[in-house]
Amino acid sequence: MPEQSRDPVVDVRKLNIAFGKSSVVHDVDFRINAGETLAVVGESGSGKSVTSMAIMGLLPKGAQVNGSIRLGGQEVIGASERTMRSLRGEVASMIFQEPMMSLNPVLTVGAQVKEMLRQHSDLSDAEATREGIRLFDRVRIPDAARRFRDYPHMFSGGMRQRIMIAIALACSPRLLIADEPTTALDVTIQAQILDLLNEVQRESGTAILFVTHDMGVVANMADRVMVMRSGYSLETGPVGEIFERPGHDYTKMLIDAVPRLGEARHVPLKPSDAAAGKPILSVRNLVTRFPVKGGALRRTIGQVHAVEGLNFDLYPGETLSFVGESGCGKSTTGRSLLFLNQPNSGEIVFDGREVKSSNPSDVSYLRRNMQMVFQDPFSSLDPKQRIGDILSEPLLCHGLASKAEAREKGEHLLERVGLEAGMISRLPHEFSGGQRQRICIARALMLDPKVVIADEAVSALDVSVKAQVVDLMVDLQEELGLSYLFISHDMAIVERVSHRVAVMYMGEIVEIGPRDAVIGNPKHEYTQRLMAAVPDPDPTTDRSQLMGAPVVELPSPIRNLDYVPPARQFRQVGTDHLVAD
């Protein structure tokens, strides 16, 4: 790390930001020196993103900003747009959460790097190309020279984020602001991007302002940490100190939300009745494929093998979690079980009755006994329906109750999920994300189902709300004897709720077994990679450990029409612990 220079790269004092009458940032102070990483941690609405936008002078016109922000010695507040333009890119640059949206889809990625270079220097076109390819190499984009002329849609999310970093680094800024740069990425990709940022910092001594909600990432990235809540800075300190002696309950809660794999520090779950009795749901050889159309006649030219030969049993009262990265088929599995996506083949036996998608009464039977909670609580509730209508719908459309009975049951369940019965005549937009997800859970329970499929049911929620909703789900399971099929990419939550875990990769289960065995003692190579990528919440771990690991990309699940998937053999490595060869 280069010598800490005399002046901080960015010096923020008594920063206050308000939009109209609502004040969103209060008296925030911090400074970052060259070569240092400050992590700003907080949940949505904490003011962390607004603060970083203020440093770049990117706040919308109506914002009232008070205090002082000195960027490389230059005051930002009140600076002219002209001054700001010269600061952006050269002194400070920014990368955002959504690498899909921050690149221009109609320009080649090379052109977008060159644009940045040529705006801030007088390089010729050829020189800019050379420099751009050098930058692509530096962020470890394989085959940089050839891919320089490719368009953004030809890159994966992780690769796009690398391109964003290359663009941000083009003019060797002294400060890099990273606003949740890995939140939209899978864990294995996240680990690679974090490594890259650490490496870049060691080489160039760039100061990094890292905005995140994830304490695990903080432990891997930060030198110092500032915790924010509702616009206030709660505490600031070196990362080791914050993790060892958090000065605030809120900080402690954020730290507790990070998974510590294999330690099973949570209260053990009530054991399921798995050993007793028959499975409530049995799935054999489930296959779901989506056609890929192409050519002038829009004929099917290939297939996405989303779910391929899935076998599993779900027992009464147990939680079976499906984990894996985006595109591995875990959500499609959940949707196929309720025939929301039509499976191509396979056998689904629910409570001893074989269910066929071609038979409407089978489908209706299944949808009466198995319910689903979706990821996004904002789009899974009809904005035009009152809560009472939303909750009554399952009972009314099956003709199982009168309107009054349904409403009474709805009120009862609203109270059961921690809301008030009086809220039944409100509209969805009057509720927060966590409350909406509680409503979705209440809706799922209206038919007294035996199985609930939770498709990333808590992934969109803030850390503190997430914990409460998960606790609610565990309580409900014990009280009602529910079985959960819990689909998630979040290892912390999976570890908290599961009796058994199934790891999915490329549409197949590669490892399935009891929670402690799969998480604590993974046997399949992919499971091991997945577990290793989960950020280690111990800030004392050597950060350079993982560096230089090869850039691994998930292969494409699109196959030719004549592709026959190989038959999988499973071997038993422990009690109920199966691993694919």
Angle at 20 between CA 19 and CA 26, to 5 degrees: 50
CA distance from start to end of the chain: 44
Q: Are strands 281-294 and 345-350 parallel, antiparallel or unpaired?
A: antiparallel
Q: How far is the CB of 381 from another protein (least distance, A)?
A: 6
Q: How far is the CB of 364 from another protein (least distance, A)?
A: 5
Q: Which residues bind another protein (CB under 8 A)?
A: 335, 338, 340, 363-364, 367-368, 371-372, 374, 376, 379-385, 389, 393-394, 397-398, 440, 443, 446-447
Q: How far is the CB of 323 from another protein (least distance, A)?
A: 22
In one-letter notation, the amino acid at residue 384 is K
Q: How far is the CB of 375 from another protein (least distance, A)?
A: 8
Residue with tokens 């939770």: 454
Q: Report the alpha-carbon distance of residue 384 to residue 543 in Å, rounded.
A: 50
Measured from the CB atom, the residue of 12 and 447 that comes closer to another protein is 447
For 293, list phi and psi in degrees, rounded to 5. Answer: -95, 150
Q: How far is the CB of 460 from another protein (least distance, A)?
A: 11
Q: How far is the CB of 482 from another protein (least distance, A)?
A: 16
Give the relative orientation of helices 187-204 and 157-169 as an angle to the nearest 10 degrees.
Answer: 20
In one-letter notation, the amino acid at residue 429 is H
Measured from the CB atom, the residue of 150 and 393 that comes closer to another protein is 393
User: Which pair of tokens denotes residue 199?
Assistant: 């490496």
Q: How far is the CB of 415 from another protein (least distance, A)?
A: 21
Measured from the CB atom, the residue of 56 and 444 that comes closer to another protein is 444
Measured from the CB atom, the residue of 428 and 513 that comes closer to another protein is 428
Q: How far is the CB of 380 from another protein (least distance, A)?
A: 4
Q: How far is the CB of 373 from another protein (least distance, A)?
A: 9
Measured from the CB atom, the residue of 130 and 353 that comes closer to another protein is 353
Q: Report the alpha-carbon distance of residue 80 to residue 61 in Å, rounded.
A: 13
- Complete edge-to-edge strand list for the sheet that includes strand 570-574: 370-373, 451-455, 483-487, 319-323, 500-505, 508-514, 577-580, 570-574
Measured from the CB atom, the residue of 252 and 368 that comes closer to another protein is 368
Q: Report the alpha-carbon distance of residue 301 to residue 291 in Å, rounded.
A: 8
Measured from the CB atom, the residue of 386 and 543 that comes closer to another protein is 386
Q: Report the alpha-carbon distance of residue 361 to residue 339 in Å, rounded.
A: 13
Give the relative orientation of helices 403-416 and 387-397 as an angle to the nearest 10 degrees.
Answer: 120
How far from the centroid of its chain's Cα atoms is residue 77's Cα? Answer: 34
Measured from the CB atom, the residue of 263 and 382 that comes closer to another protein is 382
Measured from the CB atom, the residue of 104 and 379 that comes closer to another protein is 379
Q: Are strands 224-229 and 558-560 parallel, antiparallel or unpaired?
A: unpaired
Measured from the CB atom, the residue of 229 and 367 that comes closer to another protein is 367
User: Which pair of tokens denotes residue 523?
Assistant: 């046997």
Q: How far is the CB of 15 from another protein (least distance, A)?
A: 31
**Which three-class secondary structure state does DSSP give residue 229?**
strand
CB 285 within 8 Å of CB 346:
yes
Measured from the CB atom, the residue of 48 and 443 that comes closer to another protein is 443
CB 292 within 8 Å of CB 468:
no
Q: Where are the alpha helices (DSSP H) in 141-248?
A: 144-147, 157-169, 187-204, 215-221, 239-244
Q: How far is the CB of 387 from another protein (least distance, A)?
A: 13
Per DSSP, 56 falls in state T
Q: How far is the CB of 376 from another protein (least distance, A)?
A: 6
Q: How far is the CB of 393 from another protein (least distance, A)?
A: 6
Sequence-ordered list of residues with C-beta below 8 angstroms from that of 234, at least 6 positions apart, any chain: 227, 228, 247, 248, 250, 251
Measured from the CB atom, the residue of 58 and 400 that comes closer to another protein is 400
Residue with tokens 């709660």: 234
Q: How far is the CB of 428 from another protein (least distance, A)?
A: 9
Going by C-alpha positions, the residue among 173, 149, 174, 175 that lies closest to residue 163 is 149
Measured from the CB atom, the residue of 151 and 365 that comes closer to another protein is 365
Q: Report the alpha-carbon distance of residue 162 to residue 195 in Å, rounded.
A: 11
Q: Are strands 370-373 and 353-355 parallel, antiparallel or unpaired?
A: unpaired
Measured from the CB atom, the residue of 85 and 368 that comes closer to another protein is 368
- Complete edge-to-edge strand list for the sheet that includes strand 22-32: 22-32, 10-19, 63-71, 74-75
How far from the centroid of its chain's Cα atoms is residue 70's Cα? Answer: 33
Going by C-alpha positions, the residue among 171, 203, 181, 137 that lies closest to residue 40 is 181
